[in-house]
Amino acid sequence: MNGVVVIDKPAGMTSHDVVAGIRRLLGIKKVGHAGTLDPLATGVLPICINEATKLMPFFDDHRKDYQATLRLGLQTDTLDRDGRIIAEQTPNVTPAEVAAVLQTFVGKITQIPPRYSAVKFQGRPLYAWARKGIDIEALPRTVEIFRIRVEKIALPEATFHVSCSKGTYIRSLCADVGQELGCGACLNELRRTASGPFTEKSALLLDGLAPERQQQLLTERLIRLADALPGLPAIEIDETLQASLRRGCQPAAAVMMGYDIPFLAGGDMIKFVTAGRDLVAVAKALYPSDEMPSVAEKAQVFEILRVFNEN
């Protein structure tokens, strides 16, 4: 069993809890998640099974979409409603001011990850240090907010949709908005509606179902490896090249002659697939595709990044 299944994570569970539950359900040890969701959050959590765990690095750059509700006038040590309250006041702001400040965060911004987060310091997540009473501030990082759309403002709460780059903490965004407004704020609710090509429309809500039904749905809704990377162009290869790639060979120009290579720039990613659309490898083009016919026959033209065996 190899593939990706999109889980609709319920509130109150960690991403690790979801992984552990699927391991038990399927009796499979090799299971991982792509993109951590805090216990408070719900929504899209891609789960990779067996060979699909090799795909996880390629999901890192996926854009994320969220629906978030911030609570103005309330500050906590975790930057969300589950934390210890450290300050509270009645916000003296208008809905128009809140909406305007939210828009100022669109674009590339600098964020400091929350002290209670999975960001590592000396090999341990920040939350582990914080729980021991050791206050460590993570280094600022640059993230990008692509779009913010306000849905509803009913003070002291504001609900909005945000589309952002990897590494963006919506908790930090809410706290920064509160700081800009001068009243403080924390995250009250969060739902991830999409992670790259994976959306809430295809997400499975397993909570409350019998184990047999959960197993059935996980099997039925499993996304094949090649289909989990819909944005990558595919090159269909014969059995000889399949075997060669799985032995660790890097394809030279002479080997690729005769294959239909899509338009590629140097550095573009592609996937090698079988006639039956099984994923064989993910690779990076070392030359633009229009230059490949003119390079030396023995020159390596693709760098194989990951090899897969779906049998």
Check pLDDT > 90 for residue 208.
no
Nearest to 176 by CA among 45, 311, 79: 79
**In sequence order, which residues have a C-beta less than 8 Å from that of residue 105 and are 6 or more positions away?**
145, 148, 173, 176, 177
Q: Give tens-digit pLDDT for 118-171.
A: 656 556 666 666 566 666 676 778 999 999 999 999 999 999 999 999 889 999
Query: Among residues of the chain, what percentage have pLDDT more than 70?
Result: 92
Dihedral, CA of residue 90, residue 69, residue 35 and residue 303, to nearest 10: -110
Structure tokens belonging to residue 177: 């908005």
| Cα separation, 254 vs 301, whole angstroms | 9
CATH topology of domain 3-61+197-227: Pseudouridine synthase (3.30.2350)
pLDDT at residue 298 in the model: 84
Q: Where are the beta strands (DSSP E) in the chain?
A: 3-9, 31-33, 42-49, 64-72, 74-76, 85-88, 107-111, 120-121, 124-125, 141-154, 157-164, 185-195, 198-199, 234-236, 269-273, 279-285, 302-307
- CA 131/CA 288 separation, integer angstroms: 50
Catalytic sites, residue numbers: 38
CATH class assigned to 64-185 = alpha beta
Count CB atoms within 10 A of the CB of residue 173.
26
CATH 3.30.2350.10 in the chain is located at 3-61+197-227, 64-185
- Residue 194's pLDDT band, with cuts at 50, 70 and 90, is very high
Q: Does residue 116 contact residue 78 with C-beta atoms inside 8 Å? A: yes
Give the rounded percent of residues in the chain with a pLDDT score beyond 90. Answer: 67
- Greatest mean pLDDT range, 21-25, 60-64, 94-98, 211-215: 94-98
The pTM for the full model equals 0.88
Classified as helix, coil or strand, 222 is coil
- pLDDT-derived band at 264 (thresholds 50, 70, 90) equals confident
Residue with tokens 């590339």: 108
CATH architecture of 232-307: Roll (2.30)
pLDDT at residue 284 in the model:
94
